Amino acid sequence: MAGPRLLGPTLDLGQLDWQAMAMSVDWMSDKQWRGTRAPLVESTGLHPDAYTDDAFFQLEQERLFERSWVCVGVASEVADGERMLVRKVGSRSIVITRDGTGNFHGFVNSCRHRGTELAETDCDINNTIRCPYHRWTYSLDGNLIATPLFDEVPRPGFDKADFSLIPVRVETWGPLLFACMASDTPALSTWLGDLPERMAGYRLDEWVLREQQEVEIAANWKLITENFQEYYHLRWVHPELSKVSRVADHYRYQGPGMYCGQTTTPVSDDDRGDWLAMPARPGLDESDGCSGRFVALFPNVMLSVLPNHIFLMRLEPVAPGVTRETCTFLLPPESGEVSGEAFESTRTFWLEVNDEDINIVQRSQRGLTAGHISPGPLAPRFEEPLHRFQNMVADMVTLDSLNDLKVPIGDTNDEAARLGTAANPTPPAIDLPTSTLRSGSIRASGADPT
C-alpha cells in the first residue's frame, strides 16, 4: 500500500505546522534576516512571507514605502496649473501640483476643514485645488485662499494661514518625479548616489514622454524588480531573444546609491532590429552611445536607458500578490521625426519581453504562495544585485531611524572598469563594425535587457 506522498526526499507536508511557521516570522529580529545579511556566497533569498503575507505587506508599506523616495511618475505628467496628480505612497494618498514658476508641490490628499479627499484620480485643475465638499480652495503651493460662507458667523482667531495643505517632499531627477513622506529620509541626492553623474551624458531631463500604459500583475512588487535585476533567466524566459543575446555582454553598473544596475555593451539587437530602429540621441559619448543601462532604483522604478529610447517601469504595490505597473516610453527630444513604424517595433519588442517577464514572476508568486518553501541560495555570478536589493529591504524594515541608513557603496574590486563602476565607464573593447558607432544609427549584435 502506498504511504504518504512526500515532496522531495525529506519534506513531508503533513508534518509542517503552517500556522506556527507563519507566526514564527519576527521581522524586527536580526535572526530573521540572517540569510540576507550573510556574504553573497552564503546568502539566501527572502522568506516567502515577504512576498505573500498581509502583515509583512503592511509593515513594508509603512516602514519601506512611506520612508523611501518613491517614484510617483514622470514630471511632465503634471502640467503647470492645469493638471494635478494623485498618487499612493505606501498607504498614504498625496496630490502633486506644479506652479507657474515650474516648481512642484506635494500635499497630503486631505482637506484641512474636515479631512475630505481632495481628488480621487489625476485631474485637470484651473490653478487652484478645490475641495468638493464645502469648496475650501487652495493655491497650487497649498495656501488656503477661500472658505465660502465660512465667515457668515465669524470665528474669533480664525486665520487661513493656519490651514494650509500639509506638505510632502517632492523632487525630480531627470524625467522622474519622486515623493517622500518622511522627514528623516536622506535627501534625494544622497538616495540617488552617483546616478546623476553616471548618467549625465544622456541629459535625461530633456527626454519626452511618448506613450504610457498600465498593467496589473499578479505578483509581489519585489519579484518584479528582482527579475529585472538579474539576467540569469535570460536564456530560458526569453528564448527567442537569447539566440542573439550573449550573457557575456552584461556587466554590473553599480556605484554608491540606493539602486542596483547592470549595463549591456554593446547594446543588443535582434533579427528585426527592434531596439535599434530609431536613431540614437546625438552627442552621446562612445560608452553611452553603444550601451544599454538597466537600473532598478529602490524601491519602485526600473529604468532601461538606451541610446535612442528609455523604457520605464514604475511599480505600485496593491496587495502582497498584486502590483500595478506603469510602463512609459520616452524618446530623445530630437526624435520628433521618428516614424510611427520605427517606434512601434521598439514598443512591440518591449511589451513582448515584458509579457514574458510578467508570466514568470506570476508563476514565482504562485509557487511561493502554494509551496511556502524555505528560500534557496542566490547565484553569486548573477544575483549579487538581488543581494544588494534585499539588504536595502532589510534596512528599511528594521531601522527605527533612517539617520542610521547606510546607502550601499558601489562595486569595489579590480574589475571595476569591466563591471562599469566608474561614472560613465568606458566599455570593454568590442569588435564592432565602424558603422555601429556613428550617431543616428547604431547596430550591433549583443545581449538582452532583463
Site of interaction with ligand FES (CB under 6 A): 111, 113-114, 116, 131, 133-134, 136
Our CB check for ligand FES shows the closer of 27 and 136 to be 136
Q: With contact defined as beta carbons under 8 Å apart, do 448 and 264 qualify?
A: yes
The partner in contact with residue 366, picked from ligand FES, Fe ion, none with C-beta cut-offs of 5 to 8 angstroms by kind, is none
Q: Which does 169 bind (CB under 5 to 8 A by kind): ligand FES, Fe ion, none?
A: none
The distance of closest approach from Cβ of residue 343 to Fe ion in the complex, given in angstroms and rounded to an integer, is 22
- Which of these segments, 105-113, 137-145, 349-357, 435-443, binds Fe ion (CB under 5 A)? 349-357
Q: What are phi and psi of 280, to 5 degrees?
A: -70, 155
Q: Measured from the CB atom, is 92 or 210 closer to ligand FES?
A: 92
Partner touching 450 among Fe ion, ligand FES, none, CB below 5 to 8 Å by kind: Fe ion
Nearer to ligand FES, 132 or 239 (CB): 132
357 binds Fe ion (CB under 5 A): yes
In the list Fe ion, ligand FES, none, the entry touching 357 (Cβ below 5 to 8 angstroms by class) is Fe ion
Q: How far is the CB of 137 from ligand FES (least distance, A)?
A: 9
* Site size with Fe ion, rule: CB under 5 A: 2
Q: Which is nearer to ligand FES, 92 or 113 (CB)?
A: 113
Q: Which is nearer to Fe ion, 208 or 244 (CB)?
A: 244
Nearer to Fe ion, 32 or 245 (CB): 245
Q: Taking contact as CB under 5 A, which single stretch among the options 132-140, 206-214, 288-296, 357-365 is the one that binds Fe ion?
A: 357-365
Smallest distance, Å, CB 303 to Fe ion?
15
Q: Does 450 bind Fe ion (CB under 5 A)?
A: yes
For residue 372, the partner it binds in ligand FES, Fe ion, none, with Cβ less than 5 to 8 A by kind, is none
Minimal distance, residue 147 CB to ligand FES, in Å = 8
Binding-site partner at residue 134 among Fe ion, ligand FES, none, CB < 5 to 8 Å by type: ligand FES
Q: Which residues bind Fe ion (CB under 5 A)?
A: 357, 450
